[in-house]
Amino acid sequence: MLWSAGGGFPSPLRFLLLLLIISIAESAHLKRPFNNSVPAVVVFGDSTVDSGNNNYVKTPFKSNFPPYGKDFVNGVPTGRFTDGRLVTDFMATYVGIKEYVPPYLDPNLTLEDLMTGVCFASAGSGFDPLTAQLSGVISVQRQLEYFKEYKAKLEAAIGKERTKTLISKAAFLISAGTNDIVLNYFATPFRRQTYNITSYQQFLLEHVKQFIQGLREEGAKVIGLVGLPPIGCLPIVITVTSGEAEGERRCNHSLSSIALDYNQKLQKMLEAMQNSSSTIIYYADIYKPLNDIIQRPSRYGFDNVNSGCCGSGLIETTFMCNPASLVCANPSKYLFFDSVHPTQAAYSFLYQALRPTVDRVIKIHDL
């Protein structure tokens, strides 16, 4: 016990102070660039940022088994769809908050976990509500409801004013959209009966806009949107659309051009939203850095950019990449760990590519 019951602080305050001391001890080795005051990282989206929420959802879209996580701490599969850490983990460490962003649905979260940020993302999700329904996962809209629940938990623990301040200073990151186009629009007939690809892009952007507005209404002041990758270069897309198991396995450039077009429209929409609000809204480009690796892999230390490390690397993902799968000797030489998701090495590279944006946002936010 830190203080005696007779003359010390009241019990709830002792508890909060103890948490603070533990937090300081655990994060003492983390440095804060520019002495920033960002208290938390809050994440929404799909498998590119899901740190394990699907572990707690009845869906086949899981990765809480080997070989996923083989390069994570102690080789533990956490539900991250890669061999190790995600971009969001690297960013949280860089900002100086914590080393890993935990999933919100983890029942063992502490108050400190909540106060420093959590992940609401769900693999297989998208901005289109139908996308999550097809996969049996958590829709982006439901993720926003979970965030409101999260806020209520914080308010009960630290009060409304402290929660309001924490949310206003937190960094929000949203990464979704690939599943909407690849798994929903092109892999099923449902949306194509109503939309052409141009009108479907606009449909998605309206949902993006609604989601951002929802976060702003809840007090978010710093929001980052991740654009789409060159989707025609995902190994599973190359396999399905080209039929090439061997050979050059070229990217499907027509599909990648759809992603590029969407990204340009997204940027214009975000610029318009930024101009009409005091909220800091920023666009995070992953298309260019990933495309650069694909065009010149050896320059960035990669040997393979068109198939995954797990299994054949052509179609395996989620339950098809499992403990019985053969795994490449060195995932850091592969751009993709399975046929869809990047390796930890690729996520590390993306984090480095996004660092200038992160630095700029930190500086603006702390003015």
Find residue 173's DSSP bridge partners.
43, 224
341 is a catalytic site residue: yes
338 is a catalytic site residue: yes
Marked catalytic residue, from 47, 63, 122, 307: 47
**Host H or E run for residue 305:** strand 304-308
Q: 205: which 2 tokens?
A: 């952007």
DSSP codes, 224-289:
EEE----GGGSHHHHHHHH--SSTT----HHHHHHHHHHHHHHHHHHHHHHHT-SSEEEEE--HHH
What are the backbone dihedrals phi and psi of residue 103, each rounded to the nearest 5 degrees, phi first? -75, 140
Marked catalytic residue, from 83, 89, 128, 341: 341
> What's the first-to-final CA gap in the chain, in angstroms?
40
Residue in the structure block whose two tokens are 């989620």: 318
253 is a catalytic site residue: no
Of 113, 100, 114, 107, nearest to 150 (Cα)? Answer: 114
Marked catalytic residue, from 338, 339, 348, 365: 338
CA–CA separation, 283 and 357 (whole Å) = 8
Q: 148: which 2 tokens?
A: 């409101």
Q: Could you count the other beta carbons within 10 Å of the beta carbon of residue 342?
A: 27
Q: Is 127 exposed, middle or buried (0-12, 13-18, 19+ CB in 10 A)?
A: buried
Catalytic residues: 47, 338, 341
